[in-house]
């Protein structure tokens, strides 16, 4: 079976919601043992209640990726019993605002999760991957990593850093058998999007959903499952010749707008 992850162990941060949840389920369906690092206890419990864990080889770990000590402890516990083959750095938070209305606290909060979280998790798994001379790190960047998006100052800053961290890790550890790539989604329809629209445009939810959908030239938002399928390919052995590369999944947003 192509794109099989049988006998592989994968870690997915922020894996109980949205894109992370879709990645966790897809990887499990393809045979991987998946360890989810999730800060939100409620989301983790909801996932646990909705999934039949006997069918899906998924284990939950409550962990704040912004705190290095927590990350190191969880990774150490996982690596006691298995090799770590895949890390998906999916955990992240969003922010809407330009430089004038972005506070210092906003900037620090996004840095802690979107940049330091990626650093903490990658740093924690690399020794294990070096030892086994193989491993895949997949980071979740954004179209905002490489093109201007209005009112996304702090978010773009952090996702630009994710992109360049991807290049750096890929370059530094290519001879250790470690591949590192990133995915750059445009608007993906997740519960976060629905919540954002409901909070900011009460009574105009459908109108705003259609408006935001049309900002992608293809005419709709992407789905979490579509992102998960791309993640599956990039983490599979079929992608063994790919490293140091950004993969937009954007409905034509980067190249076809304007």
Any idea which residues carry the catalytic annotation? 155
**62 forms bridges with which residues in the sheet?**
38
Query: Which letter does DSSP use for residue 113 in this model?
Result: I
**What's the CA gap between 161 and 9, in Å, rounded?**
26
Instruction: Take residue 185 and report the two structure tokens written for it.
Output: 């989604």
Report the alpha-carbon distance of residue 213 to residue 217 in Å, rounded. Answer: 9
225 CB-near residues (< 8 Å, 6+ apart): 22, 26
Torsion of CA 104, 109, 115, 117, to 10 degrees: 160
* b/e 93-112 (16+ beta carbons within 10 angstroms → b): bbbeeeeeebeeebbebbbb
Q: Which residues contact 191 (CB under 8 A, 6 or more apart)?
A: 17, 18
């Amino acid at each position: 079976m192509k794109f099989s992850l049988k006998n592989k162990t994968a870690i997915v941060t922020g894996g109980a919601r949205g894109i992370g949840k879709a990645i966790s389920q897809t990887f499990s369906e393809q045979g991987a043992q998946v360890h989810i690092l999730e800060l939100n206890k409620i989301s983790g419990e909801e996932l646990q209640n909705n999934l039949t864990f006997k069918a899906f080889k998924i284990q939950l770990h409550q962990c704040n990726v912004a705190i290095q000590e927590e990350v190191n402890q969880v990774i150490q516990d996982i690596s006691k019993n298995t090799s770590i083959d895949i890390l998906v750095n999916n955990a992240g938070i969003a922010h809407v605002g330009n430089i004038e209305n972005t506070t210092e606290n906003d900037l620090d909060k996004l840095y802690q999760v979107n940049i330091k979280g990626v650093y903490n998790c990658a740093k924690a798994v690399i020794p294990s991957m070096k030892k086994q001379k193989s491993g895949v790190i997949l980071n979740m960047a954004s179209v905002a990593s490489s093109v201007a998006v209005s009112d996304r100052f702090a978010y773009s800053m952090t996702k630009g850093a994710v992109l360049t961290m991807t290049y750096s890790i890929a370059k530094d550890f290519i001879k250790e058998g470690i591949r590192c790539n990133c995915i750059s989604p445009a608007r993906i329809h997740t519960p976060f999007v629905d919540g954002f629209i409901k909070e900011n445009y009460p009574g105009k939810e459908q109108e705003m959903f259609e408006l935001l959908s049309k900002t992608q030239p293809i005419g709709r938002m992407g789905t979490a499952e579509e992102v998960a399928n791309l993640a599956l390919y990039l983490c599979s052995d079929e992608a063994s010749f790919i490293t140091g590369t950004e993969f937009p999944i954007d409905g034509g947003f980067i190249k076809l707008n304007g």
